Amino acid sequence: MVLGLVGGTFVDASREDVEDDLRAARRWFAVSALAGASAIWISAAASVPALVGVGVGVVLACWLNRGKVHAVIWLREPPLFRFWGIIGAAATLAAYAIEYFPNHMGMRLEVNHPLYSLAWLAGGELLTQWAYVWRGGNDADKIRQRLIIAAGAAVLVGSPLLVILRWRSTFLVADPLMWRLHHDYISEFHPLVTFLKTAVASGLWLEVIPPFLLFIPALWRLAARDSAPAVKGAIALALGPAAVVLALAFLQLRWMNLATLLLVPLVGAASFGRPKSVEGQSLWPSVCLILCLAVFTPGMVGAIRRIPMTGQFTGDEDKLVIERDVAHWLQKRAGGERAIVATAPGVTTNLAFHGHLGGLGTLYWENLDGLKAAADLYAAPSAEAAYEIARRRQITHVVLFSWDGFAAAYVRLALKLSPQDALPKDVFIGQLLSSPIPPAWLRRIPYPSAHQPVSIWEVVPDQSVKEATIRAADFFLELGNKDVVSRLMPAIASDDGDLACAALLARIRAREGDVPAFLQALEKVVALLGQANGLPMQDRVHVVSVLSFGRRTSLAREQLAEVLRTADLKQLRELTPGALANLLKLAKELQVEWPDPALRDQADQFLPPLMRQ
């Protein structure tokens, strides 16, 4: 966008027959407008400030070249700015129609909107009139000129005024929760000064700050008396957006990349912009090239040094691989139904990408309601309140990755706490992490990971206290956590007439190496085998495991054959990874054939990657 205007500024304006030069300038201005419209289509929030900066640059350029009609093409033909505004407005309006017409035409100013088209059209007209003022006179009617300026100013002022007055409905990025999220938890939204406080010690400032030294040769040449009018005009045009975006970078670090990018047309205007009629100044391209190499070299060297050269995954890459594997596993476990996951915003995006999973909270402004719902879920005052949110949002899983600490941020955002405030202990996510037995509507699923642990809870129909206790003990036994299992033992041992409890107790005794206690529990399992047909598949697999370990081979084969005869995909998906791996192992060791070989092959796919054969 800026390069197009800079290129148009260097079109020769000194010849009497200006038609050919005017056509060339129009092509440059059209390219600029189309590039700007594309930028607004991609990200209005990032592009509109640069567009405002262009207006500031034009105002400065016209003032610097006041009265020099035959030196700069847009002073000789001010309607070029009107042409630029018309093309930009038409292109942004067409882009809006392509994306949103006719079903999504809301008042959303975070993205491209007809209001920006109208503002661009008005801005182009204002710049035209401004150029007429400084070219040394305007033959048009003065009253008409004032009316046009007033109308254009009203539109330009009205656009931000609408955002200010109706920000809750037109600009969701300014929502209090989103604002706190950006300000407190996303470093890109911190001021530049905050970044420099840490960057000075690490030396990172050497990669970020030096490029802005390129303002010096541009300002030097802008102030030089012997600089040609076109050179001054081009520099001023490029200086406006670069300066505006740099000012925003002092408020929010995220503008630094765009500010650095806008240095390109500024340097180009200062070094290579010389019309045919301008002589001398041949050293400027070399000077600017040397400066560019000097200021950009530290950043390039730093970027190259951060590239891993070992050929091995870094820690961050290992985590991304685990997130990918979890996404694939959850998608297969869900079968034909779509899993909807409540987890950290960044992880939600990765799970959606890799496993086509639904997510609750993401950092996209369109999903503000989902982000608020995720925060409310984590900060719910009770399991019942959390269940209402999960039911309303059709959540199927709650997933926490140990390396992503956003659970605390969710709670603080929902309760309007600062990052320094202590977390309440009675919120839902705190209770979920601290209690060995989750609420009746959740079941914790063990997921084996080669690195840091992953915690997964699956939404299930309400369980009885006994069922929830058995599932919790299953989880910790599968992970080998003897301490928690020991705390659950009294509740399990108290129901000595239940086959599932008896099988679980026998497994615990076997894991402890207590042979007499295991044999006693084994006899109890054998005595209660009449209950086997009424058990869930998970418990039946455990019964077979206990019988096999206790060398009751014939009974184990008999029970396993019945399990495999009644097995289906839904039951296999509901097994924990450890139970499913055990089922596959028992079928092989006890030499019991699967009635459906295809089902056996599919069962292997329901295992996490680390457990597949």
* Structural domains in the chain (count): 3
CB burial of 443-473 (b: ≥16 within 10 Å; e: otherwise) equals bbbbbbbeeeebbbbbbbeebeeebbbbbbb
- Nearest Cα to Cα of residue 264 among 280, 242, 283, 279: 242
pLDDT in tens, 167-181: 555 566 667 888 788
Output the pLDDT for position 419.
87
For the chain, what percentages of helix, strand and coil (3-state, to nearest 5) are there?
70, 5, 25
Instruction: Report the distance separating Cα 524 and Cα 530, nearest Å.
Output: 11
Structure tokens at 158: 């009205």
Burial 78-92 (b: 16+ CB within 10 A, else e): bbbbbbbbbbbbbbb
| Eight-class DSSP state of 212 | G
Regarding whether 505 and 439 lie in a shared domain, the answer is no
The stretch 589-611 carries a mean pLDDT of: 88
For residue range 82-134, what is the model confidence (pLDDT) as tens digits? 999 999 999 999 999 998 887 777 777 778 888 888 889 888 888 888 888 88
Sheet holding 454-459: strands in order across? 358-359, 340-342, 397-401, 454-459, 442-447
Mark which of 462, 480, 514 sits at the end of a domain.
462
CATH number of the domain bearing residue 536: 1.25.40
| Whether residue 367 is found in the same domain as residue 260 | no
What is residue 269's predicted lDDT score, i.e. its pLDDT?
A: 81
Give 536: exposed, middle or buried? Use CB within 10 Å, 0-12, 13-18, 19+. middle
Q: What is the per-residue pLDDT for 276? A: 41
575 secondary structure, DSSP code: S
Q: Tell me the C-alpha distance between 167 and 165, whole Å.
A: 6
pTM over 0.75: yes
Same domain, 42 and 162: yes
Q: Closest by alpha carbon to 452, among 406, 398, 402, 399? A: 402
Long-range interactions of 406-410: CB distance < 8 A, separation 24+: 406/185, 406/344, 406/345, 406/346, 406/347, 407/344, 407/378, 407/433, 409/181, 409/184, 409/185, 410/344, 410/361, 410/374, 410/375, 410/377, 410/378, 410/379
> Is the pLDDT assigned to residue 267 strictly greater than 50?
yes
Q: Domain of 413: which CATH number?
A: 3.40.50.12610
pLDDT at 394 over 90: yes
**Among candidate residues 305, 332, 355, the one where a domain is terminated:** 305
Rounded CA-CA distance 443/475 in Å is 9
Residues 19 and 73 in one domain: yes
Amino acid at 221: R
User: In this structure, are 58 and 160 located in the same domain?
Assistant: yes
Q: Residue 178: inside a domain, yes or no?
A: yes
Whether residue 153 sits in one domain with residue 68: yes
Give the number of other CB atoms < 10 A from CB of residue 353: 12
Nearest alpha-carbon partner for 498 in 468, 474, 466: 466
Task: Write out pLDDT tens, residues 460-494.
Answer: 998 998 899 999 999 998 888 888 888 888 888 87
Q: Has residue 212 got a pLDDT over 50?
A: yes
Q: Is the distance from CB of 236 to CB of 64 less than 8 angstroms? A: yes
What digits encode the pLDDT tens for the residues 359-380?
Answer: 988 888 778 889 999 999 999 9
| Closest of 65, 91, 93 to residue 78, by C-alpha | 65
Beta bridge partners of 401: 454
**Residue 254 binned pLDDT confidence (cut-offs 50, 70, 90):** confident
283 & 334 share domain: no
The boundaries of the domain holding residue 531 are 497-611
In a domain? residue 476: no
Tokens of 593: 């054939």
Whether the pLDDT of residue 514 is over 60: the answer is yes
What is the spatial distance between Cα 222 and Cα 228, in angstroms, rounded to a whole number? Answer: 9
